[in-house]
Chains A and B, each alone.
Chain A
Amino acid sequence: MRNLFYLLFLGLILSACNQTPDQLPYLGERAPVEKMVDGKKVIDTIYQSIPPFQFRNQDSLLISEKDFEGKIYVSDFFFTSCNTICPIMHRNMLKVYEKYKGNPQVKILSHTIDYKYDLPSRLKKYATKLGINDHQWEFVHGSKDSIYQFAAKNYLVAAYEDQQDPQGLVHQGWFVLVDKNRHLRGAYDGTKTDQVEQLLKDMDLLLQENEK
């Protein structure tokens, strides 16, 4: 009888391990709001979201949040001459691109933080060499003020200029997953293979959420 109890207990623990969350968490700041529903006061939560933006892409076209309407997307920060983490990040981002190639619900948005040199023409060359000839993966350029602030405030990614660094620019390698309502739903270290695998799984989950 006692053995049976242990066995049941073990079974319970093991089954708990198998549970996958059916919804991704919301990241960033949140604020409560009071709403009136059916004459009753209800407290709802407003999650942090990406505000409207405008950047120039690899074809010198202005793109905005409207180009991401109804889509989920992965965002990151890089620069074309970076020889530290960027090659690893984009080797991994290629996996994301290849998996969802042609899927109209998925996009990738890479911001350069080298506002001086990574003008659209240089981004175009980079994209072509990487094998990207469509607009499912956008490479965008923004001014100094807009890009560093935008990264830190909205995507929670640190990027800045540093005289001490051999390349003069420092940034983090997060891949940030954004849902179709422009809420942050996940952050993954783009230099680590296992975290990128997790991102791919989470993207499938997020796409299912879109269907509901």
Chain B
Amino acid sequence: MKSNWILIFFMTIICFIGACQSEEEINYNRYYTTGKQLYESRCGNCHNNDGSGLALLYPPLTDTTYLQSNKNKLAFIIKNGLNGEITVSGKTYNGQMPAQQDLSDIEIAEIITYITNSFGNKQGLKKTEDVNKDLKNCQ
């Protein structure tokens, strides 16, 4: 009986430690998980679920420099699509990425959080407010 109480005591301590995640961490995990689902249903067909793209038809998302230097444009690209020539990983792509106007700001933030923290990228959480700002600045 006594050993049971000790077990419960330790379990409680573990629960408290677990709850110590900061709010940003919790948000990050939440955005990342939903972002993965959204990515796989909205983007994965062309960019592939592992972010490798497809030959010279669809660019990969593994170019960390491209994603870093276009950090504030990603939201606009996802929402409005992209046309014309771009250079990713030293290769030229010239296709048409379809717009996805039906995505909400929070969904875009989730997708960006997933993409920029997968496939070799590590940019941390993308906040919904930032997506909101980026979209306004680009228009």
Please tell me if B118 contacts chain A, counting CB pairs below 8 Å: no
Task: Judge if B27 is at the interface, Cβ distance under 8 Å.
Answer: no
B-facing mask of A159-201, CB < 8 A → 1, else 0? 0000000000000000000000000000000000000000000
Q: Complex formed: what's the CA distance from A91 to B50 in Å?
A: 13
Chain B residues whose C-beta falls within 8 Å of the C-beta of A129 in the assembled complex: 55-57, 95
**Does A87 count as interface, using CB distance less than 8 angstroms?**
yes
Instruction: Report whether A83 and B45 are in contact in the complex, using a CB–CB cutoff of 8 Å.
Output: yes
In the bound complex, CA of A91 to CA of B48 (Å) = 9
What is the predominant secondary structure among interface residues of chain A facing chain B? helix
Chain A: how many interface residues by the 8 Å CB criterion? 14
CB distance from B62 to the nearest CB of A (A): 16
- Chain B: CB-nearest residue to A80: B57
Chain B facing A: main interface SS: mixed
What residues of chain A lie closer than 8 Å to B54, measured between beta carbons? 87, 90-91, 130
B residues lining the A interface (CB < 8 Å): 45-46, 48, 54-58, 95-96, 98
B45, A88: Cβ atoms closer than 8 Å: yes
Q: A81-B96, A83-B46, A130-B56 are in contact. List 11 more A-B contacts (CB 8 A).
A: A83-B98, A84-B45, A87-B46, A87-B54, A87-B57, A90-B54, A91-B48, A126-B57, A128-B56, A129-B57, A131-B56
Judge if A94 is at the interface, Cβ distance under 8 Å.
yes
Which of B45, B48, B55, B96 is within 8 Å of A130, CB to CB? B55
Question: A residues near B, CB below 8 A?
Answer: 81, 83-85, 87-88, 90-91, 94, 126, 128-131
Nearest A residue to B97, CB-CB: A83
Q: Can you name 9 A-B pairs with beta carbons within 8 Å?
A: A83-B45, A83-B46, A85-B45, A87-B48, A87-B57, A87-B58, A91-B48, A129-B95, A130-B55
Measured CB to CB, the closest approach of chain A to B116, in angstroms, equals 22
Whole-angstrom CA separation of A88 from B40 in the bound complex: 12
Q: Give the chain B neighbours of A81 by CB distance below 8 A.
A: 96
Decide: B55 and A94 in contact? CB cutoff 8 A. Answer: yes
Q: Is A130 touching B57 in the complex (CB atoms < 8 A)? A: yes
